[in-house]
Every structure is written in C-alpha cells, then in structure tokens.
Amino acid sequence: MTTLDEKFRALEADNAPGQEVRQDSVDLNTIMRGGTFSGVPVDFSHGDVDAFPPIPGTSSAWKHGFEKGGQQAYTEYRGAASIRESMADRLGTFTGTPVSADRELIITPGTQGALFLALGASVTTGTKVAVVEPDYFANRKLVKFFGGEIIPIPLHYQGPPSENSLDLNRLEAAFKSGTEVLVFSTPNNPTGLVYSSSSITSISALAAAYGVTVIVDQLYSRMLFSGEVYTHLRACDIQPENLITIMGPSKTESLSGLRLGTAFGTSKLIDRMERLQAIVSLRAAGYNQAALETWFQEPSGWMEKRISDHEAIRDGLLNIFRSADLFTATPQAGSYLFPQLPLLDIEPETFVRLLRHQAGVTVTPGSEFGPTSSDSIRLNFSQEHVVALAAAERIVNMIEVYRS
Amino acid sequence: MTTLDEKFRALEADNAPGQEVRQDSVDLNTIMRGGTFSGVPVDFSHGDVDAFPPIPGTSSAWKHGFEKGGQQAYTEYRGAASIRESMADRLGTFTGTPVSADRELIITPGTQGALFLALGASVTTGTKVAVVEPDYFANRKLVKFFGGEIIPIPLHYQGPPSENSLDLNRLEAAFKSGTEVLVFSTPNNPTGLVYSSSSITSISALAAAYGVTVIVDQLYSRMLFSGEVYTHLRACDIQPENLITIMGPSKTESLSGLRLGTAFGTSKLIDRMERLQAIVSLRAAGYNQAALETWFQEPSGWMEKRISDHEAIRDGLLNIFRSADLFTATPQAGSYLFPQLPLLDIEPETFVRLLRHQAGVTVTPGSEFGPTSSDSIRLNFSQEHVVALAAAERIVNMIEVYRS
C-alpha cells in the first residue's frame, strides 16, 4: 500500500511552473561557465498577462458580480444557473454540439480544477488510465494521486503535421487490456500539436468501441493559427458513452488570476464532479464567475488580433531556434513551444536552473511532461514580442556554452 | 474495494446547504397539512451577505490586486509571499503563537479548500480518523473520500457549558487503538459550542502523547459572544507534533464569494498541502488573495458591532425556540443554532423540505452533521434580524402542525 510519504513524493512540484522561487538554492556558481547574459528577465513558465491583458471589461464584470451580493456569492456548486445558461449556448456553438446548462456543464476553479474533478470522478484505486507522453504534467500526477495506473501512449509530434498523432495502435492495445480512461490535450501541451480530424475520429470510435471514458483538455483550442483546422471530439458521429471536454479562459484570454474553468459532457460524470467540488472548495469563487460573461463575447476583432500577435511571436521564435539547429515542432495552436536541446555537458534540469540563474530566462523542463521528453524545454510564448525573442537568443547562447 | 459509484454515493450532496434547488421535486403537496405560512423567505442554510456585507474596502482591495497584473495573477501555489507575510503576523497574534509566513502558512480556496488539503495530506486508505459527532458535514465525507475510516467521537453539548466537550474517554480509547488523525471544529458547527480551555488542553496533550495529527477548524472563532473565552490549541504548552489550524474570512467577515481560506501549522503538512493544491486548482484566485489585506484589519469598531448584532439575533431566536420548548444549546460563538425537533408524524428530512415548500424557510437537516443528530435542524442566523425572527416563528408553527 502506498504511504502518504510516497503519495506526496509523486506530487513533487518544485519544477512546476511558478514554483521555481521555492527551489533549494544549490550553489549554481560553482558549475556555471562564463558570465551572465544580460537582458530583460522573461518567465516562459506561464503567459505574461501584462503583455496580453485580460478580456476588456473583466474588472467591471467582476464588480457587477460583487454588487449583486448574496446570490452571486452563493451559487450552486456547479456554478450560477444564469451564467451556465448563456455559456452553454456559446460552448455548444463553438464545439459543434449542444450543451445542456442544467445537466451537462460545471464551472470549476480553473481548468486545473476541471481536470482534478474529471479524473477524480473516473479514476480510483487500480483504474488503468491512458496518458499521452508528452502531455500536461498534472495528468500523470492526478492519476497517481487517485490510485490509478498510468498506461503511457507515445505522441508522435516530430513528423509532418498530417502524420502526427498519438500512437493509435498502442492506444487500442491499451483499451483491449483493460484501460478504462483516456486523458489528453489538444492542442497538445507542451508541443502545440493539434490532433487531426482523422486522429480525433479514430480516438472517439475506439473509445466508443471499448467503453473507455475520455477526458479531453481543449484549453488552448481557440488560439488556432492560420491554415490550421480544429476538430472537437464531442462533435464526432461515433462517440464514447462517457466524454468530458475541458475549456477555460485562463490562457488565450488571460483570466488565470480569476481561477475559472469549465467542463461539459456526460451528465453522470458532471454530477460526480459537482459532488467532489462540494468537498474540495464548494464552487469557483462566486463573484469571479460573473467575469465569464465576457468569455466568447470579446469585442469584435479582439481575438483575431490576439491570435495574429501570438503567431508572429511563434514565427520569430521558430526562426531563432531552427537557425541554431534545435528541433522544434511548429505549434498549430496555443502558445507553447517545445524545442529540443542537443547533448549538453550538464543534465537538462541543471541547464534549466542555470538558464534562470545566468540568463534570466525561466522555462519548464521537459521531464515534467513525461519520461520521454527530458531533453526538451517548454516555453509559453505569450510574452512581450521583443523581449521574448531576445530571451530566445540567450537560450541559444547558453546552449552553445554548455554543448557537449 | 470501493467502486466509484459507492465512493460518490457517500458524497451525496442534495441536502447540502445551497443545493436544495437541485432536489428532486417530489410532490410535497400530497403530504402537506394545512396551508402555507406567508412571510419573507429566509435561507438559513448559509449567512446572508446582503444583511451582513463584506469587510469595507473588499472590492477596492480586489481591484488593486487586479491592477497589479501578472505578479498577482500568478502567485506561488501557497499564495503571494507579501500577503502571507503580513497575514502570518496577524494570525500569530490572534492565536497566541508565531506563524512562519514562509514555511507554516498556505492560502487556500476557502476554508473548505483548507480542510480538503489538510485531510488529503494526512489521510489515505485505511487511516483511522477521529470525527466528532455532530460536526461539520464535510469532515465525514472527506475522510471517506480519501479512504479513511471514521472513528466517531460523541460531542456532549446539551449540558452546562463548563461540562460540554467531546468525550475525552472515547477519544483516548480511539487514540490507543490506532487512530492517527483528529479533525474537529471549535466553535463547533452546528451547535456553536466553544471548547473550554481544559478540553483543548486535554485534547492537545492526548494527541501529543499518542502521536496523533490534529486538524482544528477555527472558522468562526472571531465571532465570540460576550462573556465567552476562546482557547487556541496551537497556544497550548503541550502540543501534537502535527497540528494544522484552519481559519478564513468567509463567515464572520462575509467574504465567501471570494473563496479564501488559510491553514497554518506544521511545515511538513503545509508542504504536502501545497503539492496537493498544485493538482487541485493551483492556487486561491490570485486577484482575490489581495482582499486578504482587509482581514484582521477591519475598521475600528466594525467587528464589535458585527458580534453584538449577531448576539442580539441569537438571543431573539433562543427565546422563540425555548418558549416553544425546543431544546436549543446556547451558541457561544459563530452564527449557528441547532434546535432539536420534538417527535413528528413525518421524518425530519421531510419536515425540512416541507418547511421550505410551505413556509419559505430553508434550514439544514441535522442528519448532515452525523447519525446521532437527525432530530435537529441547523440555522445560520447571520440574517436580517426581523425576518430571521419571523421565520423562526414559522418554524415553531410548522412544528405544531406536524407534531406527533
């Protein structure tokens, strides 16, 4: 039986984005080569909401909620009915399939909260869960926390976009041998890969055939770059009986400071998620929920500009990393970039610490996303364009310093 | 092994405060006797933050946080360092023992979040947990969710205040036979009992002697009525090695709509709680954390008036219920009242539904707080004084209609 010490060792979070400040201070100066690289510090571990501020009207929507008083403070655990009503319409339109506000939708404390509740509602001791590698680091931790068993499914992301996908043969083999749940993100975090229509259709059909619950994290699906096509699993003809889709305004829309997310799908799972929410934190903060009224109702042109701004930063970064011969897949959506490091004289995680110490650049080590990608680093490039490019140049320079 | 269905049946939440709106609509008219009782509807399932609004300055403190931007949106998972610094001072002063802002304090999404994290950090499959009955309903659900075993400890609350306490003999017997964790609230939810200095000292010493982790929920400890004395467990001379104290501004200070709470104590447990928070919801909403600057720094006289207003409502309600010969313990702190129903012709939970349907009065059935108190009902009397008393009269009238 797992002891509490073991359980919490698996949740080690010192390398998690935003937690770098709590790392033990080893003496990096003793292993550091050469001097420091000056420049504006950039924290690529998360988006810069000062560079890309929240949806216009967020603050006044919050104030409006606060002024509504008690009815906004104490919503149902699944969120205020009136807010769910209007949001269900917009999410149904966006994903191509209607959502019932009463039965199929829950408002959560961020999409992290939605993932926690969705996995808590479907994973218990011994449940086999297919987890894509690389994928969002919390997926693996959540499965372990709930006592499940991780069945790794490799993601092919280094080929031409049309051939990239999770390994469907491995997926079917996992389903055949008792896997009950699949969790994955599209666009994929950390690579920015958008699953093709044929991949999504195959995944949906396989899950339906084998009775597998699917939890699909579509957090970054609105920031779709030019020429790309996005396929919503919930719009497939053949669908799994149990399907939860997760979205939220924390990333593209920069509302992370409000901790708002949403999950929608199979009512039986939404019911369980609400029961779990009741003992976890009751509800997403009531006044904050009011800010959801701005989501999917942004001013005309606002989203288009946000996407094109990010596409320009993406292209600039790809150019820098590829000029330095670092393999970097092209993000098709979202704001994550996952360049691969060459062989270095130091461990990649040490390089990441030195990068912060010596060059003022914070990135997330690839090992956070699965055991197969420890030679890569993840950047959230939702940053000031000019400083992001300058920081990328420092990364390239640092690689030259430590290259084997 | 517990299936997910069983696990979630134990989390049934339809009678939980605020969830009444989701109850199945059975035809209450077929069992209802007589007509309806008119009057302003009152929801005693939680406090009325319109009657007792949030701390002055809450909204502008939030706005200030929002305008700080990224640094306030993305705090450490345990909360913004600067806010922890100043709050640790105030909590240390209030509880009579210093708190380390860096190691011993975490900001959580409400005190519900703090309880979830504290029990998650100390309970796993098979852990025996001493749970007081009656006590806050989520304690029992949380222990079950984490796979622990509930060891019930009766609370004596119907005698003279000096003799009221949890059953110390039962507690020691539980500790002797392998109980590893004790969770309880003081003031007790639902009775308003404040544990005496001698009770707290004994509990602390017993937990120290047997190596038991103690989680003490002091949510309502600031609203202490005249003549009462409050004892902080963390200020005892002999203390358990592992001790977490939970407080928050959701109740007395009416900030529930912001989902803010705090837990402080043993650093090893705070570390675990932060790791768990990282996969549950990352952090309490960043901008909301800024509102903690008003907590324990309320305008002069504000808290005194809030307490005396509540004491007056308490006295009015006690007078009504006692005049009708309903046993009701005197709340020494907080805003919960727990009157006992006489024998009725219908089940207490049916009475509670009829009370809402027929008299516009929402209360929480005593069965939520443990199996031994199903003949009582809980009222949160943080309501408009006049309408609360009128609603209490309707409760008394309804009892006469359904009395055996």
Could you read off the pLDDT of B130-154 as tens digits, one per residue? 999 999 999 999 999 999 999 999 9
Average pLDDT of the segment spanning B87-91? 98
Average pLDDT of the segment spanning B358-382? 96
Confidence of residue B27 (pLDDT cuts 50, 70, 90): confident
> What's residue A384's pLDDT?
98
User: Which residues 224-253 on chain A approach chain B with CB closer than 8 angstroms?
Assistant: none
Q: Which of B243, B273, B294 is the C-terminal boundary of a domain?
A: B294
> What CATH number corresponds to the domain at position A369?
3.90.1150.10
- Between strands A213-217 and A149-156, the pairing is unpaired
Residue B70 contacts A, CB cutoff 8 Å: yes
Burial of A89 by CB count in 10 Å (0-12 exposed, 13-18 middle, 19+ buried)?
middle
Q: Which residues of B356-386 are buried (b: 16+ CB within 10 A; e: fewer)?
A: bbbbbbbbbbbbbbbeebbbbbbbbbbbbee
Residues A246 and A390 in one domain: no
Residues B161 and B27 in one domain: no
Residues of chain A with pLDDT under 70: 1, 15, 18, 23-26
The structure tokens listed for B225 are 């009525």
Residue B261 and residue B246: Cα distance in Å, rounded?
8
Whether A192 contacts A337, CB under 8 Å: yes
Best residue in A40, A282, A382 for a mutation probing chain B (most B CBs within 10 Å): A282
Percent helix, strand, coil in chain B, to 5, is 45, 15, 40
Contact A256 B76 (CB under 8 A): no
Q: Which of A270, A294, A318 is the C-terminal boundary of a domain?
A: A294
Residues A24 and A68 in one domain: no
Confidence of residue B17 (pLDDT cuts 50, 70, 90): confident
Using CB atoms, pick whichever of A76, A108, A282 lies closest to residue B21. A76
Residues A271 and A286 in one domain: yes
Residue A16 contacts B, CB cutoff 8 Å: yes
Using CB atoms, pick whichever of A76, A108, A112 lies closest to residue B19. A76
Residue A23 contacts B, CB cutoff 8 Å: no
Residue B21 contacts A, CB cutoff 8 Å: yes
Number of separate domains in chain A: 2
Between A3-7, B61-65, B194-198, the lowest mean confidence (pLDDT) is in A3-7
Contact B281 A113 (CB under 8 A): yes
Best residue in B112, B146, B281 for a mutation probing chain A (most A CBs within 10 Å): B281
CB neighbourhood size of A175 (10 A): 20
Helix axes B267-280, A110-120, angle to 10 degrees: 90
Residue A302 contacts B, CB cutoff 8 Å: no
List Cβ neighbours of B396 (8 Å cut-off, separation of 6 or more): B320, B321, B324, B326
> What's residue B84's pLDDT?
98
Residues B286 and B321 in one domain: no
Interface size A-B, in CB pairs within 8 Å, comes to: 207
Residues B288 and B320 in one domain: no
For A141-173, give the DSSP string. HHHHHTT-EEEEEEEE-SS-GGG-EE-HHHHHH
Measured between alpha carbons, how far is residue B291 from residues A6, A108, A265, A294, B57 in Å? Answer: 36, 21, 34, 23, 8
Residues A67 and A110 in one domain: yes
Residues B221 and B362 in one domain: no
Considering the domain boundaries, does residue B6 fall inside one?
no
Considering the domain boundaries, does residue B60 fall inside one?
no
Residues A332 and A283 in one domain: no
Confidence of residue B13 (pLDDT cuts 50, 70, 90): confident
Contact A257 B74 (CB under 8 A): yes
ipTM exceeds 0.85: yes
Whether the upstream peptide bond of residue B339 has omega within 30° of 0, thus cis, is: no
Question: What's the whole-model pTM score?
Answer: 0.96
> What's residue B340's pLDDT?
98
Using CB atoms, pick whichever of A4, A257, A278 lies closest to residue B13. A278
> What's residue B161's pLDDT?
83
Residue A268 contacts B, CB cutoff 8 Å: no
> What CATH number corresponds to the domain at position B110?
3.40.640.10
> What's residue B26's pLDDT?
65
Q: For residue range B94-118, what is the model confidence (pLDDT) as tens digits?
A: 999 999 999 999 999 999 999 999 9
Average pLDDT of the segment spanning B39-49? 97
Q: For residue range B333-352, what is the model confidence (pLDDT) as tens digits?
A: 999 999 999 999 999 999 99
> What's residue A157's pLDDT?
96
Residues B286 and B333 in one domain: no
> What's residue B1's pLDDT?
63
Nearest CA in chain B to A69: B50
Considering the domain boundaries, does residue B45 fall inside one?
no
Residue A163 contacts B, CB cutoff 8 Å: no
Residues A188 and A138 in one domain: yes
Residue A159 region by backbone torsions, left for phi larger than 0, else alpha for psi between -120 and 50, else beta: beta
> What is the maximal distance between C-alpha atoms in chain A?
62
Give the CB-side neighbour count of residue B96, counting CA atoms within 13 A: 8
CB-CB neighbors (< 8 A) of A72 in chain B? 257
Residue B137 contacts A, CB cutoff 8 Å: no
> What's residue A285's pLDDT?
98
Residues B91 and B178 in one domain: yes
Residue A334 and residue B208: Cα distance in Å, rounded?
52
Confidence of residue B24 (pLDDT cuts 50, 70, 90): low
Q: For residue range A192-242, what is the model confidence (pLDDT) as tens digits?
A: 999 999 999 999 999 999 999 999 999 999 999 999 999 999 999 999 999
List Cβ neighbours of A173 (8 Å cut-off, separation of 6 or more): none
* φ, ψ of residue A227 in degrees (nearest 5): 85, -5
**Domain limits at B377?**
23-40+301-402
Contact B280 A122 (CB under 8 A): no
